Amino acid sequence: MDRKKFFKTVGIAGTSLVAMSSTADARTRIVSPDWMGMLTDLSLCIGCRKCEWACNEANKLPNKPIQSFDDPSVFQEERRTHAEQFTVVNRFEVDDRPEPVFVKKQCMHCAEPACASACLVRAFSKTAEGPVLYNKDVCIGCRYCMIACPFLVPTYEYADAFSPEVKKCTMCFERFTQQGEVPACAGICPREAITFGKRSDLLKLAREKIRSHPDRYVDHIYGEHEVGGTNWLYISPVPFEELGFRTDLGETPYPEMTRPFLSAVPLVLSIWPMLLMGSYMFSKKREGEAPSTDLHERVDS
C-alpha cells in the first residue's frame, strides 16, 4: 500500500466512524420477549460453588475435584472472573445479618452489550436467543471489549502465546440450543438459586417472589433496567450496593455512551485494528478458508 492510498483509506474509515456515531441516537432499543435469560436468587445461594465446578466442566476449563469446592477459604478475598474461570462466587458479610450473602458473578449478557459495540470487528454479537457470544475467528486481540464492559467480565488468555482469545460465559448457548439442557450452573445448583428461562418469564417470577415475600427480598430486580437491561437478572435479600454490584451504571445502554468515546479515540488507534483485520482476512482468504462470519442470527443493532 503506498502512502497516498493509505491516507485515502484512512479518510474513508474516518468518515464512516463519524457516520456511525451520528446514527446512534436514532437506534431503537430492542428487548426481545423470546430472549432466554437467567435469574439468580441470592437469598437461596449458599455459596457451595458447585456452579463454578459445573461451569469449568461444561466449558472444558481447568478443574479440580468437586469436593475441593467445599473449601471456604477462597472467600477470603473477592474474586473476579478470568479466562480460566467464567463464573465466581463471592461472599459478602452484611451488617445486621447473621448469615453472609453469596453472589455468583459472570457475564450479564447485556441487552445492548458494550463489549459488542466496542468491538471494531464485531467479534461479539447479541444472539436472538439472548446470550452474547464471542467469535474467536474474527477477533483481532485489541481488547477494547475488556475496557468497555461495565462489569469487568471479558478477559484475555494472557497465558496463551499463540492464539489467545477473549473468554467469558456463553450462558451455555450450545447446551440449551442443541442439547436441550439448561446451562450447567443452573442444572447443578442444589438450591436452584439459578433459574433458566425466558427473560420475560423470569421477570414475572422475580416480581412474584418479591411481591409474595417482601421480608425476603429488596424491591429491586438487578438487570431489569441496568445498562438498558441484561439477560442475567438478580434478586437479593439486601441492597445490591452492599454486595459489590454497581448501582451507578444508570439505565442507558452502554453502547450509547461508549460510541462518542470511541469516535474520539485518535484515528490511528481506531484504524489500526481495522487495518490489521484487513490483513488478517486477506491472509485467511489466501489460506483458502472463508473467514467465519456471524455464527448466529443477530439482533439488529
Partner 1 sequence: MSRPTINTPGLHLLGRFSYSSLLILMLVCPVVAQAQEQDQPGSSHPKLDNQVCFDCHQCAAPTANDPCLKSCLRSRGEHGVGRQPSAEYPEVIIIDELLELYKPVVFAHKYHADMSKMGAGCTECHHYSPAGNYPACKECHDAAVTSLDRPNINQPGLKGAYHQQCLDCHIAWSNTTGCNFCHLSIEQALAGKDIRGEGDSYHLSQPRIKSEARYVYETEYEDGPMVTFYHDNHVDMFGLECADCHQGDACGSCHRVGAIARVKGDLHEDCSTCHDENDCTICHRSSVAPAFSHAAKSGWELGAQHENLACSACHNTARASGMLSSSCGECHQSWEVGNFDHAVTGLALNIEHAELDCESCHGDPLFANTPICSSCHDGDVAYPEDVPGARSNDN
Interacting residues with partner 1 (CB under 8 A): 34, 36, 44, 46-48, 66-67, 70, 99, 128-129, 176-177, 180-182, 186-187, 189-192, 195-198, 201-202, 205, 208, 297
Options 48-56, 60-68, 209-217, 244-252: segment touching ligand SF4 (CB under 6 A)? 48-56
110 binds, among partner 1, ligand SF4, none (CB under 5 to 8 A by kind): ligand SF4
24 binds, among ligand SF4, partner 1, none (CB under 5 to 8 A by kind): none
113 binds, among partner 1, ligand SF4, none (CB under 5 to 8 A by kind): ligand SF4
C-alpha distances out from residue 8 to 168, 277, 278, Å: 37, 17, 15
Q: Is residue 38 part of the contact set for ligand SF4 (CB under 6 A)?
A: no
Place of cell 462466587: 89
Options 31-39, 150-158, 211-219, 269-277: segment touching ligand SF4 (CB under 6 A)? 150-158
Cβ atoms of 153 and 246 closer than 8 Å:
no
241 binds, among partner 1, ligand SF4, none (CB under 5 to 8 A by kind): none
Options 57-65, 149-157, 170-178, 240-248: segment touching ligand SF4 (CB under 6 A)? 149-157
Q: How deeply is 251 buried, as exposed, middle or buried, from its count of CB atoms within 10 A (0-12, 13-18, 19+)?
A: exposed
How near is the Cβ of 98 to ligand SF4 at its closest, in Å? 18
How near is the Cβ of 89 to ligand SF4 at its closest, in Å? 4
Place of cell 447485556: 110
Q: Could you say which of 130, 154, 183, 228 contacts ligand SF4 (CB under 6 A)?
A: 154
Sign of the four-CA dihedral 274, 279, 282, 284:
negative
How near is the Cβ of 15 to ligand SF4 at its closest, in Å? 27
SS3 (DSSP) at 28: coil
Sign of the four-CA dihedral 114, 119, 121, 123:
negative
Rounded distance between C-alpha atoms, residue 74 and residue 168, angstroms: 21
Sign of the four-CA dihedral 250, 238, 34, 204:
negative
Question: Side-chain half-sphere of 298: how many Cα atoms within 13 Å?
Answer: 16
Closest among 26, 42, 72, 33 to 191, alpha carbons compared: 42
Q: x/- contact string, 267-286, with ligand SF4 (CB under 6 A)?
A: --------------------
Closest among 260, 271, 210 to 24, alpha carbons compared: 260
Closest among 92, 183, 91, 169 to 134, alpha carbons compared: 169
Q: Is residue 46 part of the contact set for ligand SF4 (CB under 6 A)?
A: yes
Closest among 24, 44, 38, 49 to 182, alpha carbons compared: 38
Q: Is residue 86 part of the contact set for ligand SF4 (CB under 6 A)?
A: no
Options 70-78, 107-115, 207-215, 272-280: segment touching ligand SF4 (CB under 6 A)? 107-115
Contacting positions for ligand SF4 (CB under 6 A): 45-51, 89, 102, 104, 107-110, 113-115, 132, 149, 151, 153-154, 168, 188-189, 191, 193-194
